[in-house]
Amino acid sequence: MKRITVFKGLSILCAMMFFFSCSKNGDNNSVTNSEPTKMLCFANFDELNDTYLSLFNLTRDEFEVWAIENNHESLYMSDTDADYKNFSNSLRRILNKDGKYQVGDSVYMIDKSGDVFAYKKGQKNDTKLVDHVVSMPLDEFNNSSLKYISISVGQKGPADYQQQFNLTNYAYNACNGITKSANGALFKFVHELWVENYNNQYIAYLRLKLEYASKWNEASEFRNIILSLTLYNQNGSYIKSISESLKCVRYHYEYLLFTTNNGDSNYWTGSKVRFSLTGSITHQVVKDSYIFYNDVNDKWGLYATYN
């Protein structure tokens, strides 16, 4: 209940923001004066950032409620979302179906490569490249020669966690009551660390996925997830504990770990972001007998580094 209360409070704030910054001739909606499709509108970049960060830990179902309450046609819920899969759920939730949002009197558009373009409302012919979004997974150990996230230790290997399994007792979907049989089908859980560089900051987050064979596409089966983690800074000092029990999660779920800017002594050494994460993640398809207990200490308990 606490999670729902928090984002409902946010949606009221955003609804007020839409009214003042995006309505036309007193019409209370989120349609801009010069654009054919709806978009989120923010008075300034602080409001944009507050909303961006607050949308991280919502499940898909929680965000769907938020989007309806705020009359938002999000890229995250559209057919073109697949082109933006490398970006965080939160960023894709901010964007409308055309990849746009508005700050003040300027419209911003992010394309699938991460380039950010901007133009003044009504002056689309004067569009300029203003920024670039980078979002990438912690890829492999000790790969400092590439612009990747890596573990700064003397060993190599994959830095995510993957576990294949066959569904065994999955006879019906306990979350919505719809009967669905997938007995014996091959799936895998995937747990990743990502960093996104957006709006002049770095955001570290978990991405927890369920995929199905044979092309390992994103699966929609409901799952239960338990996070029991501890975050430490680059000096090994305690930052925070993470204790979450999530029920009936659909599609991949993301959890915000921290935000940082260049020079932050908690995480930065020169041009590198360093941190460590210990504890466990428990992941289970609802009503299935297989439980993936993921002890993250052997990889993420070492220092994860963004180069």
Segment 93-148, tens digit of pLDDT: 999 999 999 999 999 999 999 999 999 988 887 889 999 998 887 754 444 433 33
Q: Is the pLDDT of residue 239 over 90?
A: yes
Mean pLDDT of 244-271: 89
What local confidence, expressed as pLDDT, does residue 181 receive? 66
CA-based end-to-end distance of the chain: 39
Q: Is the pLDDT of residue 214 over 70?
A: yes
Phi and psi dihedrals of 264, rounded to 5?
A: -65, 115
Phi and psi dihedrals of 20, rounded to 5?
A: -80, -30
Band of residue 11 on the pLDDT scale cut at 50, 70, 90: very low
Q: Is the pLDDT of residue 254 over 90?
A: yes
Measure CA 153 to chain center: 27
DSSP per residue, 63-80: HHHHHHHTT--BGGGSGG
Band of residue 27 on the pLDDT scale cut at 50, 70, 90: very low
Q: Is the pLDDT of residue 14 over 70?
A: no
Distance CA 84, CA 99 (A): 9
pTM of the model: 0.83
Would you tell me how many other CB atoms lie within 10 Å of the CB of residue 6? 13
Share of the chain above pLDDT 90, in %: 46
What local confidence, expressed as pLDDT, does residue 189 receive? 96
Q: Is the pLDDT of residue 226 over 80?
A: yes
What local confidence, expressed as pLDDT, does residue 33 receive? 35
In the three-class reduction of DSSP (H, G, I as helix; E, B as strand; rest coil), residue 120 is classed as strand
Average pLDDT of the residues of the chain:
80
DSSP-derived letter for residue 47 is: H
Closest to 294 (Cα-Cα) out of 220, 228, 215, 232 = 228
Band of residue 5 on the pLDDT scale cut at 50, 70, 90: very low
Share of the chain above pLDDT 70, in %: 76
CA distances in angstroms from 185 to 168, 219, 293, listed in the order given: 8, 12, 20
Answer with the residue of higher pLDDT: 31 or 165: 165
What local confidence, expressed as pLDDT, does residue 240 receive? 96
What local confidence, expressed as pLDDT, does residue 59 receive? 93
